[in-house]
């Protein structure tokens, strides 16, 4: 028996959860004991010094060796200091620093395992007697590039020990000798700035974060690299930039902010609104196209990535070329997304609270024709068909006036079903801090995203059997926690203990209801009333019966249909240990990591299959049931599925070396072993094993060479095909580091040329079989046995196995340039890439039928080839105008693919050959942009299709010139349903504590085939577009063909006869997000006992410009996929507060 535990809205399978809780309790107990011991050791292990007349440089070097802390200072600071003699045993870090700096013009500050040496404020010397002034006073204010004040900045006169620090508002005052000519500004995390004194007494100084320059550390696969030494194509976005956009899914928040990232948000459904995403477009027509996702080197699937809490993210890196992805071997062809979470820092405990609340509003509000207009068009279509009108003049007048709401209803089903807005709230709490040896980061978050469906009351005759009202609206409740713990066991041994969990509850109407909810589009406004006079749900008159109206009353289904509720549970625990082996070889270290992940989805439901509905006849007051077998509300049917638990175990072991050699030579080497086993229920595990290497060399950071790759494989293939080597090579030249360059072009901070080439793979190639070499059998047909035949189901071969099947392989080329000008105020990055993927899994299509083999049963083989090429451009400028800081950025990615080979049969005509066309290009008729006229119908030389052709019907091109419009005239033309270009423009400004940021984003290069139910008249709710139909009076301006009551029976039916008339561009421009905020001055925050206080308001999907949106009223991102059967995409209006304690 499988029991259920209900815990704060989260449902767990008891048997699986008990095991997890036992393991977690054991881990917690051992961890507590371990931390107590380590914490004690952190304070007991101290510094021992025995130095005589040693320079401060020597003292700092010895402290760094014993503690592992970095000591930051400039050479000029040591001018005027004197040697010290220190003899101490088992002293604390603070005692050692105070002793070393006693009497010196220096002070220190500890920041996240960094000792920052600062200039001690020294008063000006007293003058022995009055005389002419020898000093002048200068004042100023120091801010960052966002206009935020910087307290504690060291301001020093270059070449002296005279200086001061900025106060809590970033202001400083300094007495400057007349002969002083340069001020120096130092602040941890920011680039040192030198300012030449020019006689001014007031200064506004802007410091640039080091992440804006060449000292930035970029997260790469299995490590980090200095930005100036990166040879790969990598885009990085920090948490602050991501957080400027509100939303529940991380995929959506990246849109338009990072080059190479393509996304399509197909739905706004709570818990299901995550965008589909690809890196640099699509390069396969059969295999998976989603990138590999790693969070702190732990693999996540798309669903787990969607639920990541943004407040626990430090940065996200997008790895795009072979040099960046080859180390992942058979998993790297589609690109890699690396998420790095926050970690603890040395210092007093810090608490950050962020709470926000907002509303969701549909991006589009569907406008359908009212009952009167719909009835008029219905009559017109029937008359065009030579049939009698359905509505007489009296009916039309009643629809127009609304005098008979039950017999002649006029229902706006959109307003009946949808609310104007739905709430969304989110709260997150972060704790961080630590000692010299133990640092911690703890994050907890809760998100509540409501749904847009209305709560429709039941007013029927019979009482509802279940008296308690169930919630069948869409919603998402997400609980998230993360704990990252860093422990320095010794000076050379570091340990990380990470634990994270996500518990998400998603709700929707029962599946049968959920599908029909979006069928409100298919119920005409005159179909039936929501309620009858007695409160029962309405149903149409048999005379008005239409195929789409056969569904239950939608409002009734929403009221009584029940719900389906998923409980998604995900937990991950990781242990990492890194041992420095500098005693053996300086720069050598070894590292081991073990992670365990658990995921499961349980489902609970309460559903009804049908509800009572009645046709009310206002003439005699009678009620006719929709179904004579459904005359009362039936009890709910309860359902539960405990799900199939998934377990993933990953082990990694690596050796890392980084060494410097005389003359400016640097070498770094990584060797790594990786093994993953993935279990789903009781099935056989998926196993992955690989070896990774990376070798890097640079000379004085001018010339950089890198070689990386992986030798790995998967057990999905036969032994001989499981492993392969995936190598990559890259070169870079930092021209700005050449001596001749620095002197002639001092305004250029960076000019780097880089190029890479390599081979990567994709083992996500699609198959219902775990193992590609096995045959698959299915139940089909049957046999009869015995004298009295008893039919039994037969087992037949469905798919043949193939021992030669292997992964897809891709060759990647990339050439790029990185440019930084004017003290990093202008940054430009440009890349060109060319990817060629081959060995795409394909069924043979060119085997003659005379062989007696059906191609549908042939095994898949590695045959397909696709080329994908394009370019990227990133431009960013930041600066100040007076006291106003600003930034402007632009991003563009263009990626266009084409099919090189897919073993298609020879085409009868050139226009029917899809070789050379982009993946997803449709085969369709070409509309000439005109409708048939009476003259056209009378001329035998005007090509016409078979069947009924009337005046005002669509006119297609006769491509083969045979005078007949048929399948031979269908051509592969138009654009695919995925964009080939993504654009992003960012604008930002700040003044004192105020800031504003905006993002415009655009997808270009895609078409959508308008689906059957979006525009076909009388199979959907009539739209304003249908008022623009062809009539003899509007022949010159018509935008839609002449109406017919049997549109689906004509050659114009878009479902069976795709044409360019039904194909519409889904290009769009969105004001994707805007954020405005105010950060209170620190003195105000301190009065409130806070470290910082910020108020903000932001929005998402605020405005959309799209021709598809204007014509068919559907969101262009949704329309590019499946049309109407989805929850509406929403815009979000949000406000919140961020507090630090």
In a domain, 189, yes or no: yes
What pLDDT score was predicted for residue 100?
84
Q: pLDDT-derived band of residue 210, with 50, 70 and 90 as boundaries?
A: low
What pLDDT score was predicted for residue 746?
83
Alpha-carbon torsion, ordered 140, 143, 149, 152, to 10 deg: -70
Domain CATH number, residue 197? 2.60.40.1120
Report, in this order, helix, strand and coil percent for the chain, each rounded to 5.
Answer: 20, 45, 35
What pLDDT score was predicted for residue 843?
84
In a domain, 1019, yes or no: no
What's the rounded mean pLDDT across residues 264-283?
88
Range of the domain at 37: 4-44
The count of residues in the chain is 1141
Burial status of residue 720 (CB atoms within 10 A of its CB: 0-12, 13-18, 19 or more): exposed
Note whether 540 and 400 are same-domain residues. yes
Chain segment 702-718, per-residue pLDDT in tens: 999 999 999 988 877 88
In a domain, 77, yes or no: no
In a domain, 334, yes or no: yes
In a domain, 499, yes or no: yes
pLDDT at 12 over 70: no
In a domain, 1067, yes or no: no
CA dist., res. 156 & res. 120, Å (int): 10
CA dist., res. 815 & res. 578, Å (int): 35
Note whether 494 and 530 are same-domain residues. yes
What pLDDT score was predicted for residue 66?
77
Name which of 740, 684, 736 is nearest 715 in CA terms: 684
Q: pLDDT-derived band of residue 770, with 50, 70 and 90 as boundaries?
A: low
pLDDT at 431 over 80: yes
What pLDDT score was predicted for residue 1091?
85
What pLDDT score was predicted for residue 898?
95
Chain segment 906-945, per-residue pLDDT in tens: 889 999 999 999 998 989 999 999 999 999 999 999 999 9
Residue pair 266/276 in contact (Cβ under 8 Å)? The answer is yes
Mean pLDDT (the chain) is 85
Name which of 996, 989, 923, 927 is nearest 957 in CA terms: 927
What's the rounded mean pLDDT across residues 549-569?
83
List the structure tokens of 282.
């699509």
Name which of 803, 828, 861, 682 is nearest 752 in CA terms: 828
Note whether 221 and 200 are same-domain residues. no
The residue out of 187, 207, 227 marking a domain boundary is 207
pLDDT at 203 over 70: yes
Instruction: Mention every residue, 6+ apart, whose C-beta is less than 8 A from residue 515.
Output: 1125
In a domain, 594, yes or no: yes
Helix axes 393-401, 371-384, angle to 10 degrees: 160
What's the rounded mean pLDDT across residues 227-242?
90
String of b and e for 186-225 (b: at least 16 CB within 10 Å)? bbbebbebeeebeeeeebebbbbbbbbbbebebbbbbbeb
C-beta atoms surrounding 68 within 10 Å: 16
Chain segment 36-70, per-residue pLDDT in tens: 444 444 333 468 887 877 888 888 888 877 777 77
Domain CATH number, residue 253? 2.170.130.10
- Vertex 227 angle, CA 222 and 232, to 5°: 60
Chain segment 882-916, per-residue pLDDT in tens: 888 899 999 999 999 999 999 888 889 999 999 99
The residue out of 641, 674, 701 marking a domain boundary is 641
Instruction: Mention every residue, 6+ apart, whose C-beta is less than 8 A from residue 1092.
Output: 1079, 1080, 1082, 1085, 1138, 1139, 1140
Note whether 274 and 422 are same-domain residues. no
Note whether 442 and 564 are same-domain residues. yes
What's the rounded mean pLDDT across residues 822-831?
92
Note whether 435 and 305 are same-domain residues. no
What pLDDT score was predicted for residue 101?
84
Note whether 262 and 190 are same-domain residues. no
Note whether 329 and 410 are same-domain residues. no
Q: Which one of 586-590, 867-871, 1044-1048 scores highest in mean pLDDT?
A: 867-871
Chain segment 787-823, per-residue pLDDT in tens: 777 778 888 777 777 888 888 999 999 999 999 998 8
Note whether 404 and 317 are same-domain residues. no
In a domain, 1103, yes or no: no
Residue pair 268/465 in contact (Cβ under 8 Å)? The answer is no
The residue out of 593, 620, 641 marking a domain boundary is 641
Q: Which string of DSSP letters, residue by residue, matches 1060-1081? A: GGGEEE--EEEEEEEEEEEEPP
Note whether 164 and 188 are same-domain residues. yes
Residue pair 481/1084 in contact (Cβ under 8 Å)? The answer is no
Q: Indicate the number of domains in the chain.
A: 4
CA dist., res. 269 & res. 449, Å (int): 9
Note whether 320 and 202 are same-domain residues. no
What's the rounded mean pLDDT across residues 502-522?
77
Place of tokens 């990072």: 258
Chain segment 1090-1135, per-residue pLDDT in tens: 888 999 999 999 999 998 877 888 888 886 545 456 788 999 999 9
Note whether 34 and 154 are same-domain residues. no
Q: Report the range of poorest mean pLDDT among 211-215, 473-477, 596-600, 974-978.
A: 211-215
Name which of 473, 466, 450 is nearest 565 in CA terms: 473
CA dist., res. 272 & res. 262, Å (int): 18
Residue pair 754/818 in contact (Cβ under 8 Å)? The answer is yes
């Amino acid at each position: 028996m499988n029991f259920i535990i209900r815990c704060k809205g989260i449902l767990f399978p008891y048997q699986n959860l008990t095991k997890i809780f036992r393991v977690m309790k054991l881990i917690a107990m051992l961890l507590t004991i371990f931390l107590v011991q380590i914490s004690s050791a952190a304070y007991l292990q101290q510094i021992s010094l025995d130095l005589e007349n040693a320079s401060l440089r020597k003292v700092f070097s010895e402290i760094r060796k014993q503690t592992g802390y970095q000591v930051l200072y400039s050479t000029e600071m040591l001018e005027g200091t004197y040697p010290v003699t220190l003899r101490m045993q088992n002293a604390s870090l603070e005692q050692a620093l105070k002793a070393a700096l006693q009497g010196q013009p220096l002070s220190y500050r500890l920041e996240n395992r960094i000792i920052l040496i600062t200039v001690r404020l020294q008063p000006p010397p007293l003058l022995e007697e009055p005389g002419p002034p020898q000093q002048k006073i200068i004042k100023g204010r120091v801010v960052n590039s966002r206009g935020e004040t910087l307290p504690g900045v060291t301001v020093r006169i270059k070449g002296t020990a005279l200086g001061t620090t900025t106060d809590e508002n970033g202001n400083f005052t300094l007495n400057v000798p007349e002969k002083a000519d340069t001020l120096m500004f130092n602040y941890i995390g920011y680039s040192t700035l030198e300012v030449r004194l020019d006689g001014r007494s007031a200064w506004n100084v802007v410091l640039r974060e080091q992440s804006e320059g060449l000292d930035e550390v970029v997260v790469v696969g299995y490590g980090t690299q200095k930005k100036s030494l990166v040879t790969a194509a990598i885009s990085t976005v920090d948490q602050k930039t991501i957080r400027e956009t509100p939303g529940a899914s991380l995929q959506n928040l990246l849109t338009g902010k990072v080059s190479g990232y393509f996304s399509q948000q197909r739905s706004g459904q709570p818990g299901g609104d995550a965008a589909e995403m690809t890196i640099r477009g699509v390069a396969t027509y059969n295999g998976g196209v989603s990138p590999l996702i790693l969070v702190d080197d732990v693999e996540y699937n798309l669903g787990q990535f969607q639920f990541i809490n943004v407040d626990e993210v430090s940065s996200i890196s997008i790895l795009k070329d072979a040099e960046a992805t080859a180390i992942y071997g058979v998993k790297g062809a589609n690109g890699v997304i690396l998420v790095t979470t926050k970690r603890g820092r040395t210092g007093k405990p810090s608490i950050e609270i962020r709470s926000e609340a907002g509303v969701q509003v549909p991006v589009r509000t569907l406008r359908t024709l009212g009952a009167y207009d719909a009835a008029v068009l219905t009559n017109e279509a029937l008359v065009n068909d030579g049939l009698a009108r359905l509505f007489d003049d009296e009916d039309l007048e009643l629809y127009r006036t609304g005098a008979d709401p039950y017999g002649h209803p006029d229902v706006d089903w959109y307003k009946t079903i949808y609310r104007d807005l739905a709430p969304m709230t989110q709260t997150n709490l972060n704790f961080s801090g630590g000692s010299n040896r133990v640092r911690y980061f703890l994050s907890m978050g809760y998100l509540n995203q409501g749904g847009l469906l209305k709560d429709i009351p039941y007013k029927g005759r019979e009482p509802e059997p279940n008296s308690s009202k169930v919630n069948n609206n869409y919603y998402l409740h997400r609980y998230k926690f993360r704990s990252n713990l860093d422990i320095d066991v010794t000076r050379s041994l570091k340990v990380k203990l990470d634990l994270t969990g996500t518990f998400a509850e998603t709700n929707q109407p029962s599946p049968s209801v959920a599908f029909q909810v979006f069928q409100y589009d298919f119920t005409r406004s005159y179909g039936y009333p929501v309620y009858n006079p007695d409160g029962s749900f309405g149903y149409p008159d048999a005379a008005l019966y239409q195929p789409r109206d056969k569904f239950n009353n939608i409002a009734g289904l929403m009221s009584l249909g029940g719900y389906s509720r998923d409980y998604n549970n995900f937990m991950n625990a990781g242990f990492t240990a890194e041992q420095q082996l500098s005693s053996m070889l300086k720069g050598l270290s070894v590292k081991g990591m073990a992670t365990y992940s658990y995921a499961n989805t349980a489902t609970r439901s309460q559903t009804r299959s049908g509800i009572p509905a009645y046709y009310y006849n206002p003439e005699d007051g009678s009620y006719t049931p929709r179904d004579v077998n459904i005359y009362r509300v039936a009890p709910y049917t309860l359902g539960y599925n405990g799900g199939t638990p998934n377990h993933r175990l990953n082990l990694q072991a690596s050796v890392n070396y980084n060494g410097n050699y005389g003359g400016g030579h640097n070498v770094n080497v990584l060797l790594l072993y990786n093994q993953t086993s993935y279990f789903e229920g009781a099935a056989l595990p998926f196993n992955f094993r690989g070896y990774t290497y990376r070798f890097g060399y640079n000379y004085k950071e001018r010339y950089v060479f890198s070689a990386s790759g992986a030798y790995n494989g998967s057990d999905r293939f036969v032994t001989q095909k499981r492993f392969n080597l995936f190598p990559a090579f890259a070169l870079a030249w930092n021209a700005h580091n050449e001596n001749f360059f620095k002197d002639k072009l001092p305004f250029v901070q960076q000019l780097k040329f880089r190029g890479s080439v390599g081979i990567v793979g994709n083992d996500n190639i699609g198959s219902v079989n775990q193992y590609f070499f096995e045959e698959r059998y299915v139940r089909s047909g049957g046999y009869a046995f015995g004298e009295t035949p008893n039919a039994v189901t037969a087992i037949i071969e469905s798919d043949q196995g193939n021992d030669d099947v292997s992964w897809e392989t891709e060759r990647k080329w990339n050439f790029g340039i990185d440019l930084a000008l004017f003290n990093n105020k202008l940054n430009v990055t440009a890349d060109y890439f060319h990817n060629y993927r081959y060995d795409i899994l394909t069924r043979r299509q060119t085997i003659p039928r005379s062989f007696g083999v059906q191609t549908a049963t042939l095994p898949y083989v590695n045959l397909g080839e696709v080329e994908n090429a394009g370019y990227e451009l990133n431009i960013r400028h930041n600066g100040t105008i007076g006291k106003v800081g600003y930034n402007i950025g632009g991003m563009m990615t263009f990626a266009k693919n084409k099919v090189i080979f897919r073993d298609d049969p020879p085409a009868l005509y050139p226009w029917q050959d899809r070789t050379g066309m982009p993946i997803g290009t449709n085969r369709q008729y070409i509309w000439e942009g005109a409708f048939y006229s009476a003259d056209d119908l009378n001329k035998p030389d005007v090509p016409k299709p078979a069947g009924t052709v009337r005046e005002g019907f669509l006119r297609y091109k006769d491509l083969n010139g045979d005078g007949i419009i048929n399948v031979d005239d269908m051509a592969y033309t138009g654009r695919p349903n995925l964009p080939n270009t993504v654009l992003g423009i960012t604008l930002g400004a700040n003044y004192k504590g105020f800031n504003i940021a905006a993002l415009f984003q655009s997808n270009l290069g895609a078409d959508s085939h308008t689906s059957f139910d979006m525009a076909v008249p009388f199979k959907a709710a009539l739209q304003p577009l249908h008022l623009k139909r062809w009539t003899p009076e509007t022949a010159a301006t018509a935008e839609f063909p002449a109406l017919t009551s049997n549109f689906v029976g004509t050659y114009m039916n878009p479902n069976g006869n795709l044409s360019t008339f039904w194909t519409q561009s889904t290009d769009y421009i969105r004001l994707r997000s805007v954020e405005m905020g105010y950060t209170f001055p620190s003195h105000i925050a301190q009065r409130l006992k806070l470290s910082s206080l910020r108020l903000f308001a932001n929005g998402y999907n605020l405005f959309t410009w799209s021709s598809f949106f204007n014509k068919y009223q559907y969101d262009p991102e949704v329309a590019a996929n499946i049309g109407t059967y989805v929850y509406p995409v929403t815009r979000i209006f949000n406000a919140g507060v961020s507090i630090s304690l």
